[in-house]
């Protein structure tokens, strides 16, 4: 509940009649660099409006929202997500965009209640390039050419209306922003809870807080919501009831954290040279596998790799897949889905029998037996741990429990040296981070698939700082079209792409490995090709096993040193956001481990500093040491005049404080530079550490525009269609980069006017309706919630009270569940906020015109 102070009236010497007190008024600021398409339905819905014919000029950095439709029509009133409003034809939007080499342009599209989007991005002046965005975002990176203005066209190739975001940021990567609400799936009626001590557990179980609890290890518990908390006893647990229960758990004394039991999913989208299938396994040649096997002839013998997945194919005889069986025998195994010690892969009833875990395990460590295929670490032991069930999905609770089980191990030693997680799609979960960190502290190395959403949105566990995040490449070593990317990617490996023939062998680039088939209802061993970052991650896990066999003291710190030094990839120690530090090179990696030691280096976190007068103006950069050498004599080299750097007077670990000097910058022209840190290792000079830094003096406030805004007071409970209905409404256009709103007191006469407010409890929200469907805050539209977007609170309007100077911020981005915002919860089924219809109307189109004027 928001607590707001009422503002009383005061005297004035002015002769101008004062407006009567407003029950609620305030200002909505606009996020930096926000722009809007010049002919959305906010304009086209007005009588006599025409589609814009000119090219819209955009600045160096922008996040623009737009609308395109291949035809005109009316939204169907029968749809729960539509109101019967008219929409106009506007098939093409054209922009003039300044682009420099290496800069990225991102287009993300969102369909309407009619159909999914069918959009095309065309960049002319460097090609032209054309990219379809029927599914996932399209991105264009200018890799060559002059820094100049390019004509960018967004075209709707279908008939249904669609919303879109076109973004470019030279400072911090617009492709890293989220434009949809967090919609992570979770298991209703369950929560993962960290408790302070055993007394708290007993107290929780003695009260109605939870019906039962299952220990996940390390002080973490899976709790079940009491049945009497459900609004409808017949309906069973529902999503919103679960989230409300979790909010109450978080406020309970002794509860350190409480999160939904999120659904985790597989990340697939499918040898040595003597094995029969090797001719199909282009992916081993791509990572220089044959040379690595000469350097590690034991194939990783003595090293255990845990595969957290859907289990392994189990034959009717009780044996595992014949290409896996001998590497599994006499090793620990567990099924956290069925709670037994036989992690059998059931295949998948969704989309055919995939046998995902069997495929992943084969890439890691299938044996060499003159049959089928072999794995990267064909001599390593496999520790199968089942955390995914039917359909390739599981729960975050089972994943946390599995990692805790591996870390606890036996006799003080973990059950595995390397852990592969070809799964993901989770938000950041502190309990999961803690479990992984404990494993890293015991010398374990974790690898995870980056994900297949073709986005830079963080996907966990891969995005964890203690996990190697692996993106996927095709047979030509190029980023696969489905693969995630971003600043959190560590390296790339073959994941395949069935739509490409990157290595020109005449076949689609899929990854071949062990699998299963159904024969008369019985599972039998087989082989198949799959694609996905799920297939890329086990290549890295297998190579890590080969490295561990060469250097038993290998740990995560050593791996990071080798990786960033260019000793594990084909790169030149120059990182990018698609391939990380480069494509995996098994031979180079095993050779680096063969030396038995890693060079000592100085590392910075964050690795890149972005400063802005509207964002972070001062950032602390932690300097830490990777390696066993003694780092001393730190000194700063030349640096840009627009930053001040202090700190690190002693040996690392220590922190540099980097502060922006605003008067040294040119407005709206991003500046780039580096902080150079010189240092010595064991008394000898080492290669300096270079920390890229970007500074911006943003002065575009008056030019900002997030489109016509509807400021609403809505009911605090959604209707049966998951829409929050407006009770009062104010319509505004931006003036000098802000929206100023003012509601009026209800005069008691019917009908109630749009601006009039009656006493009661509401959510205060605002946003744009670019596609004219009568709903705001949908993906691709601006949205603001009081007091913070994503953490809305009830605001109470009382009789005779005046609440003024209320502040909100609107923009096209959406909050994410991260370390910076751990209190954010998912919004399952959230459809948006529905505008209040005017009192009189003559038809759908007229209704729309009256509403927007």
Strand partners, 797: 760
Say which of 37, 90, 241, 309 is annotated catalytic. 309
Is-catalytic flag, 605?
no
Q: Confidence class of residue 209 from pLDDT cuts 50, 70 and 90?
A: low
pLDDT in tens, 138-172: 666 665 466 788 889 999 888 889 999 998 865 44
Here the tokens at position 784 are: 């603001």
pLDDT at 113 over 90: no
Higher pLDDT, 195 or 320: 320
Q: Do domains 186-265 and 268-550 have the same CATH topology?
A: no
Is the link from the previous residue into 751 a cis peptide, with omega within 30 of 0?
Answer: yes
Q: What is the pLDDT of residue 286?
A: 87
Q: What is the pLDDT of residue 534?
A: 94
Which candidate, 837, 819, 827, 737, places its Cα nearest to that of 779?
827
Q: What is the pLDDT of residue 299?
A: 93
pLDDT at 237 over 80: no
Q: What is the pLDDT of residue 9?
A: 36
pLDDT over 70 for what percent of the chain? 83
pLDDT at 342 over 90: yes
pLDDT in tens, 172-193: 444 457 888 888 888 888 999 9
Mean pLDDT value of segment 487-512:
79
Determine contact, residues 374/334, Cβ cutoff 8 Å: no
- Please report, for the chain, the start and end positions of each structural domain, with discontinuous segments joined by +: 24-30+702-852, 55-176, 186-265, 268-550, 601-700
pLDDT in tens, 774-784: 999 999 999 99
Q: What is the pLDDT of residue 462?
A: 96
pLDDT at 26 over 90: yes
Mean pLDDT value of segment 599-622:
79
pLDDT in tens, 298-321: 999 999 999 999 999 999 888 999
Tokens 């025409």 found at: 50
Which candidate, 126, 506, 56, places its Cα nearest to that of 280?
506
Higher pLDDT, 63 or 625: 63
Q: Confidence class of residue 641 from pLDDT cuts 50, 70 and 90?
A: very high
Is-catalytic flag, 146?
no
Q: What is the pLDDT of residue 321?
A: 93
Mean pLDDT value of segment 308-336:
92
Mean pLDDT value of segment 480-488:
89
Q: What is the pLDDT of residue 851?
A: 28
Residue 202: C-alpha distances to residues 191, 209, 251, 796 (Å): 17, 11, 17, 38
pLDDT in tens, 500-542: 765 555 667 788 899 888 776 777 888 888 889 999 999 999 9
Q: Confidence class of residue 457 from pLDDT cuts 50, 70 and 90?
A: confident
pLDDT in tens, 778-803: 999 999 999 988 888 999 999 888 99
Q: Confidence class of residue 126 from pLDDT cuts 50, 70 and 90?
A: low
CATH classification code of 186-265: 3.30.70
Q: Confidence class of residue 850 from pLDDT cuts 50, 70 and 90?
A: very low
- Element (DSSP H or E) covering residue 674: strand 671-681
Highest mean pLDDT out of 323-337, 590-604, 613-627 = 323-337
Mean pLDDT value of segment 617-633:
85
Determine contact, residues 107/120, Cβ cutoff 8 Å: no
Nearby residues of 218 by Cβ (< 8 Å), 6 or more positions away: 404, 407, 434, 435, 438
Phi, psi of 783 (to 5 degrees): -155, 140
pLDDT at 277 over 90: no
Q: What is the pLDDT of residue 545?
A: 97
Longest dimension (CA), the chain: 98
Q: Are strands 212-217 and 220-224 parallel, antiparallel or unpaired?
A: antiparallel
- Please give, one letter per residue, the 3-state secondary structure of 691-744: EEEEEECCCCHHHCCCCCEEEEEECCCCCCCCEEEEEEEEEECCECCEEEEECE
Q: What is the pLDDT of residue 253?
A: 85
Say which of 22, 456, 534, 612 is annotated catalytic. 534
pLDDT over 90 for what percent of the chain? 38
pLDDT in tens, 53-97: 788 989 888 999 999 998 988 887 655 566 778 899 999 999 999
Phi, psi of 664 (to 5 degrees): -95, 5
From 14-18, 342-346, 374-378, the region with the lowest mean pLDDT: 14-18
User: What CATH class is the domain 55-176?
Assistant: mainly beta
Higher pLDDT, 807 or 32: 807
Q: What is the pLDDT of residue 477?
A: 87
pLDDT in tens, 693-724: 888 887 777 788 999 999 999 999 888 878 89
pLDDT in tens, 362-390: 999 999 887 778 899 999 999 999 999 88
pLDDT at 758 over 90: yes
**How many Cβ atoms are within 10 Å of 8's Cβ, its own excluded?**
8
Mean pLDDT of all residues belonging to the chain: 83
3-class secondary structure, 44: helix
**Does 268-550 carry CATH code 3.40.50.2300?**
no
Q: Confidence class of residue 12 from pLDDT cuts 50, 70 and 90?
A: very low
Q: What is the pLDDT of residue 709?
A: 96
Is-catalytic flag, 356?
yes
pLDDT in tens, 650-669: 888 899 999 999 999 888 77
Q: What is the pLDDT of residue 503?
A: 57
**pTM for the whole thing?**
0.72
Phi, psi of 219 (to 5 degrees): 75, 15
Q: What is the pLDDT of residue 271?
A: 35
Q: What is the pLDDT of residue 255?
A: 86
Higher pLDDT, 530 or 649: 530
Strand partners, 565: none
Give the whole-angstrom CA distance, residue 551 versus residue 554.
5
Say which of 39, 335, 353, 356 is annotated catalytic. 356
Q: What is the pLDDT of residue 103?
A: 76
pLDDT in tens, 392-449: 889 999 999 999 999 999 998 999 999 999 999 899 999 999 999 999 999 999 999 9
Higher pLDDT, 72 or 16: 72
User: What CATH class is the domain 601-700?
Assistant: mainly beta
Q: Confidence class of residue 251 from pLDDT cuts 50, 70 and 90?
A: confident
Q: What is the pLDDT of residue 14?
A: 46
Q: What is the pLDDT of residue 551?
A: 93
Give the whole-angstrom CA distance, residue 343 versus residue 334.
6
Higher pLDDT, 258 or 272: 258
Determine contact, residues 661/645, Cβ cutoff 8 Å: no
3-class secondary structure, 588: helix
Q: What is the pLDDT of residue 265?
A: 80
């Amino acid at each position: 509940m928001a607590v707001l102070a009422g503002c009383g009236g005061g005297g004035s010497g002015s002769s101008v009649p004062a407006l009567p007190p407003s029950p609620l008024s305030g200002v909505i600021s606009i996020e930096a660099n926000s722009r809007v398409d010049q002919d959305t339905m906010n304009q086209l819905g007005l009588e006599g409006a025409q589609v814009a014919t000119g090219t819209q000029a955009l600045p160096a950095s922008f996040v623009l929202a737009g609308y395109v439709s291949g035809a005109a029509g009316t939204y169907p009133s029968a749809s729960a997500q539509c109101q019967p409003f008219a929409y106009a034809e506007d098939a093409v939007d054209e922009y003039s965009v300044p682009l420099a080499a290496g800069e990225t342009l991102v287009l993300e599209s969102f369909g309407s209640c009619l159909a999914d989007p069918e959009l095309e991005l065309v960049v002319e002046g460097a090609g032209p390039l054309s990219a379809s965005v029927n599914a996932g975002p399209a991105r264009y990176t200018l890799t060559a050419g002059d820094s100049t203005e390019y004509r960018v066209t967004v075209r709707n190739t279908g008939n249904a209306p669609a919303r879109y975001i076109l973004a470019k940021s030279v400072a911090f990567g617009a492709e890293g922003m989220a434009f949809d609400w967090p919609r992570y799936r979770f298991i209703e009626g369950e929560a993962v809870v960290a408790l302070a001590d055993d007394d708290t557990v007993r107290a929780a179980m003695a009260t109605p807080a939870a019906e039962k609890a299952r220990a996940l290890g390390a002080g973490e518990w899976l709790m079940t919501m009491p049945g009497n908390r459900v609004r409808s006893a017949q309906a069973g647990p529902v999503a919103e009831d679960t989230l409300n229960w979790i909010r109450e758990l978080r406020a309970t004394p002794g509860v350190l954290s409480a999160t939904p039991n999120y659904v985790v999913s597989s990340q697939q989208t499918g040898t040595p040279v003597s094995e029969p299938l090797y001719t199909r396994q282009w992916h081993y040649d791509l990572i220089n596998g044959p040379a690595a096997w000469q350097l590690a002839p034991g194939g990783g013998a003595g090293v255990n790799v845990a595969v957290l997945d859907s289990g392994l194919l189990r034959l009717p005889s009780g044996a595992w897949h014949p290409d896996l069986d001998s590497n599994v025998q006499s090793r620990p195994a567990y099924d956290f889905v069925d709670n037994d010690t036989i992690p059998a892969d059931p295949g998948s009833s969704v989309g055919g029998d995939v046998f995902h875990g069997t495929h992943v395990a084969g890439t890691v460590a299938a044996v060499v037996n003159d049959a089928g295929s072999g794995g990267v670490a064909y001599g390593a032991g496999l520790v199968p741990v089942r955390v995914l069930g039917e359909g390739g999905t599981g729960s975050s609770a089972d994943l946390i429990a599995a990692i805790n089980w591996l870390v606890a191990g036996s006799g003080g030693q973990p059950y595995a040296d390397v852990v592969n997680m070809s799964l993901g799609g989770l938000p950041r979960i502190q309990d999961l981070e803690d479990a992984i960190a404990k494993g890293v502290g015991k010398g374990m190395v974790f690898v995870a698939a980056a994900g297949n959403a073709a986005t830079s949105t963080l996907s966990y566990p891969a995005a964890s700082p203690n996990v190697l995040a692996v993106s996927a490449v095709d047979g030509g070593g190029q980023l696969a079209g489905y693969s995630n990317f971003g600043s959190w990617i560590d390296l790339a490996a073959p994941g395949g792409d069935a739509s490409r023939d990157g290595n020109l062998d005449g076949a689609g680039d899929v990854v071949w490995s062990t699998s299963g088939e159904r024969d008369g209802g019985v599972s039998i061993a087989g082989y198949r090709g799959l694609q996905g970052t799920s297939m890329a991650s086990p290549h890295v896990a297998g190579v890590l096993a080969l490295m561990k066999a060469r250097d038993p003291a290998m740990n995560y710190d050593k791996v990071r040193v080798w990786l960033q030094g260019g000793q594990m990839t084909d790169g030149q120690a120059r990182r990018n956001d698609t391939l990380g530090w480069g494509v995996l090179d098994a031979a180079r990696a095993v050779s680096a481990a063969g030396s038995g030691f890693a060079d000592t280096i100085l590392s910075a976190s964050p690795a890149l500093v972005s400063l802005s007068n509207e964002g972070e103006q001062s950032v602390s950069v932690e300097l830490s040491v990777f390696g066993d050498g003694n780092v001393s004599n730190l000194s700063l080299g030349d640096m840009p005049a627009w930053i001040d750097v202090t700190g690190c007077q002693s040996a690392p670990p220590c922190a540099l404080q980097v502060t922006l000097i605003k008067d040294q910058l040119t407005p709206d022209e991003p500046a780039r530079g580096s902080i150079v840190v010189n240092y010595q290792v064991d008394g000898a000079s080492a290669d300096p550490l270079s920390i890229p830094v970007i500074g911006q003096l943003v002065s575009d406030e008056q030019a900002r525009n997030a489109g016509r805004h509807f400021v609403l007071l809505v009911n605090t409970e959604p209707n049966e269609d998951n829409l929050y209905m407006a009770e009062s409404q104010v319509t505004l256009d931006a003036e000098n980069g802000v929206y100023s709103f003012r509601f009026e007191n209800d005069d008691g006469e019917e009908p109630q006017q749009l601006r009039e407010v009656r006493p009661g409890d509401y959510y205060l929200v605002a946003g744009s309706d670019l596609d004219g469907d009568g709903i705001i805050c949908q993906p691709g539209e601006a949205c603001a919630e009081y007091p913070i977007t994503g953490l809305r609170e009830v605001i109470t309007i009382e009789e005779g009270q005046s609440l003024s100077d209320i502040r909100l911020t609107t923009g096209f981005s959406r909050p994410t569940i991260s370390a910076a915002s751990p209190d954010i919860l998912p919004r399952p089924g959230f459809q948006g906020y529905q505008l209040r219809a005017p009192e009189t109307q003559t038809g759908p189109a007229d209704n729309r015109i009256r509403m927007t004027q």
